[in-house]
Structure 1
Amino acid sequence: MAGFAVVDCETTGLRATQERIIEVGVVLLDSSGAFQDEWSTLVNPLRPVTSQFIHGIYDDDVASAPTFTQILPGLTSLLETRAVVAHNVVFDVAFLNAEFERSSYPMTIPAQATVCTMELSKIYLPEGRHSLVSATERAGISLGGHHRALVDAWGAADLLRHYMLAESRGIRYAQQAKSRQGSVTKPAAWLPALQQAGALDWPVSLF
């Protein structure tokens, strides 16, 4: 098993079909949770940047950054055969898949190959809020900042490793988690995600 690609995307807004990615951070872990590599880049959305009050990224910051199409070869080489992990993974994967479609790139990250550290916080952390800041605080993890892609990817990566250790010690606060959309997350959800990701036939690059 190749392991995990823990991702975070900073965006111009909340709707993947209308807004764009302006920064991507990726932390690579092997299947046991050990660190392998990290990567991040700003992305030129080819439109004005908004939501600066959240991420602190401005038009001038991305003016000379590569477009999403230009980062595709490097990004997809990091994602291939790996389970994609994020805090609120539905959000990040929706943006990535929307950008793949805009770039006419034949890749879709399926939900079965993803891991959500936000949903897993309901199983492996004491009761409380489930934001990245709150979850890392309850796990005893120092986030070192917030709402920049690589920092948040590291927060999710450290949470995943915390959950893996808790599972190995038999520590659970619930036997499953249910999202607002009704989907159910079970303990050790990273294991089936790893298996699914390994079976995918993703192209590394079309360029």
Structure 2
Amino acid sequence: MSGFAVIDLETTGLNPRSDAIIEVGIILLDSAGAFETGWTSLVNPGQSVRAQFVHGITDDDVESSPTFTEILPQVVPRLESRAIVAHNAAFDVGFLNEGFRKAGFPMHIPAEATVCTMELSKMYLPPGRHSLASAAERAGVQMLQHHRALADAHTAAGLLRAYLTAEESGSRFENPVHTRTGTQLGPASWIEAQVRASHLGWPAPLF
């Protein structure tokens, strides 16, 4: 199996249809959770940047940055055949898939090929809030910075490694767990996600 692509996105807002990506961070891990490489880029969203109080990214910061379409040749090879990991994966993958659609790129990442470190915190961490900062604190994962894409991707990668270690030792606080949409997650669900991701058949970038 090819391992994991841990992603984090900063966006202009919360709706992938009307908002857009302004920063991408990707951390690549092998199938055992070991760090391989990291990559990040600001993205010109083609619209005014809102929520600056969250991420601190301004219109001036992204004005000369590439568009999402223009960074696809850098993004796609990093995601190809890997399980996509994120804290609140539905949010990040929703924006990715909408970005693909708007760019005319024929790819859609299914939920079955993703790993959500937020949902899995219910299984592998003591009870508490499930935000990235709260989960990281309970897992003993250091946060170097918050609400910047590469830093948050590093934190989510640390959470995944904590879950891998917990599963190896059989340490679980809840089993199974149910997501906010009612989907049931069992132990080591990342294995199935890697298998599904390896069979997606990513097309080559068209640009």
Residue 25 in 1 paired to residue 52 in 2? no
Q: What corresponds to 1:94 in structure 2?
A: 94
Distance 1:149 1:127 in 2: 26
Q: What corresponds to 1:47 in structure 2?
A: 47
Distance 1:104 1:176 in 2: 38
Q: Specify the code of the residue in structure 2 equivalent to 1:203.
A: P
Q: What corresponds to 1:167 in structure 2?
A: 167
Q: What corresponds to 2:141 in structure 1?
A: 141
TM-score (norm 2): 0.99
Residue 37 in 1 paired to residue 37 in 2? yes
Q: Specify the code of the residue in structure 2 equivalent to 1:157.
A: A
Q: What corresponds to 1:65 in structure 2?
A: 65
**1:160 is paired with a residue of what secondary structure?**
helix
**1:205 is paired with a residue of what secondary structure?**
coil
- Deviation of 1:178 (Å): 1.2
Q: What corresponds to 2:126 in structure 1?
A: 126
Q: Deviations over 1:113-162 (max 9, x none)?
A: 00000000000000000000000000011111100000110111000000
Q: What corresponds to 2:105 in structure 1?
A: 105
Asked whether the equivalents of residues 118 and 132 of structure 1 are also in contact (C-alpha less than 8 Å), the reply is yes
Residue 196 in 1 paired to residue 193 in 2? no
Distance 2:187 2:150 in 1: 26
Q: Specify the code of the residue in structure 2 equivalent to 1:177.
A: V
Asked whether the equivalents of residues 80 and 204 of structure 1 are also in contact (C-alpha less than 8 Å), the reply is no
Q: Deviations over 1:180-199 (max 9, x none)?
A: 22122211110000000111
Q: Deviations over 1:94-113 (max 9, x none)?
A: 00000100000001111110
Asked whether the equivalents of residues 88 and 118 of structure 1 are also in contact (C-alpha less than 8 Å), the reply is yes
- Deviation of 1:204 (Å): 3.0
Structure 1, gaps ≥5 residues long: none
Q: What corresponds to 1:16 in structure 2?
A: 16
TM-score (norm 1): 0.99
Q: Specify the code of the residue in structure 1 equivalent to 2:178.
A: K
Q: Deviations over 1:30-77 (max 9, x none)?
A: 001011110000000011100001110000000010000000011001
**2:187 is paired with a residue of what secondary structure?**
coil
Q: What's the Cα RMSD here?
A: 0.7
Detail structure 1 runs of 4+ shifted over 2 Å in the superposition: none
Number of residues paired by the alignment?
Answer: 207
Asked whether the equivalents of residues 81 and 198 of structure 1 are also in contact (C-alpha less than 8 Å), the reply is yes
Per mean C-alpha deviation after superposition, the further-off stretch among 182-191 and 112-121 is 182-191
Distance 2:22 2:176 in 1: 34
